[in-house]
Structure 1
Amino acid sequence: MNPVELLLSSLGACQSIGTRTYAKKFEINIQNFWVELEGDIDLDGFLGKSDVRPSFSDIRKFHIETDASEEKVQKYKEFIEAHCPVGDTIANQFNLVSSKVVVENPDI
């Protein structure tokens, strides 16, 4: 698994936990649920071939089978997305700080 695939796995796990955790609160009867994450990424940014961002542009996610109305499921989905720490970290800019680099040389 490469790092961006691991990122998708983290998002899927977080969304799955949220989906199961809040189903009762939203009165959603989950009959079947699965995560099938995929994202669009242009590796030219990573490879230095262009100025395109070296990140996903879109990520698609989970499937739910339920007898709940589409409107109810939409509100439930919005709540899950708003409360998923991994999703929030991906969706919103944050400070990535590398305050110190430690160079270790065993020969010194």
Structure 2
Amino acid sequence: MSLTDVIEGTRQATAADPANAQVSFSVANTLVPGTATAVEVRVRDHRFAVDEPAPLGGTDTAANPVEYALAALGSCQVITYQFWAAKLGIPLEQVKVTVDGDLDLHGFFGFADTRPGFTDVRITVELAGPADAADYEKLKQQVDEHCPVLDLFRNPTPTSTTLAQLTG
């Protein structure tokens, strides 16, 4: 199935019932027993690890959470470029996205009253294909407007935490 087929099928499904546009995702995260920072993550039928580098108390067995956040942003950008290129009919042969982020550890460790999140995030997008620069700029504008993970980085998202005590 092509991306244009996916786009059209989704358009038809959401036009028939707007509730079809509402989706939810769930991710389960569990500390690996016997470790200080290693986490097992379960997403549908997929599993992957999260850890911290040694200087932050981990064993460096996997990327850390902020690296995964940057990876989520970069991979969402690549996918959104593909979708919007198909939707706009802009030929696109290759997409490469590099994401760099700066973090001040004062906030995470509570050493200062500083925000614990990223202080700056930079996205570099490299596109290859036969379209002209104006088409790719139009594509970038649509991606900037419609990339879900970019939206998470740019806008506050209502978030709540419920604390429950584990048993056993």
TM-score of the two chains, using structure 1 as the length reference: 0.82
Structure with more of its chain in helix, by fraction:
2
Match of 2:73 in 1: 11
How many residue pairs match? The answer is 105
Question: Which of structures 1 and 2 has the bigger CA Rg?
Answer: 2
Partner amino acid, structure 2, of 1:66? G
Match of 2:159 in 1: 96
* 1:19 positional shift: 0.8
Q: Does 1:70 align with 2:133?
A: yes
Q: Does 1:54 align with 2:116?
A: yes
Alignment of 1:31-50 (within 5 A): 31-50=93-112
* 1:36 positional shift: 1.2
What SS does the aligned partner of 1:75 have? helix
Match of 1:83 in 2: 146
TM-score of the two chains, using structure 2 as the length reference: 0.56
* 1:56 positional shift: 1.4
Query: Sequence identity, in percent?
Result: 34
Unaligned runs of 5+ in 1: none
Larger mean Cα displacement after TM superposition, 2-11 or 87-96: 87-96
What SS does the aligned partner of 2:107 have? coil
Partner amino acid, structure 1, of 2:117? S
- Runs of 4+ with deviation above 6 angstroms: none
What SS does the aligned partner of 2:122 have? strand
Unaligned runs of 5+ in 2: 1-62
Aligned equivalents of 2:103, 2:143: Cα separation in 1 = 24
Partner amino acid, structure 2, of 1:94? T
Aligned equivalents of 1:71, 1:60: Cα separation in 2 = 22
Map Cα deviations across residues 32-57 of structure 1 (whole Å, 9 max, x no partner).
Answer: 32121111211111111222211112
Task: Give the structure, 1 or 2, with the largest relative contact order (CA under 8 Å, sep 6 or more).
Answer: 1
Partner amino acid, structure 1, of 2:108? F
Q: Does 1:25 align with 2:87?
A: yes
Partner amino acid, structure 1, of 2:139? Y
Aligned equivalents of 1:32, 1:105: Cα separation in 2 = 49
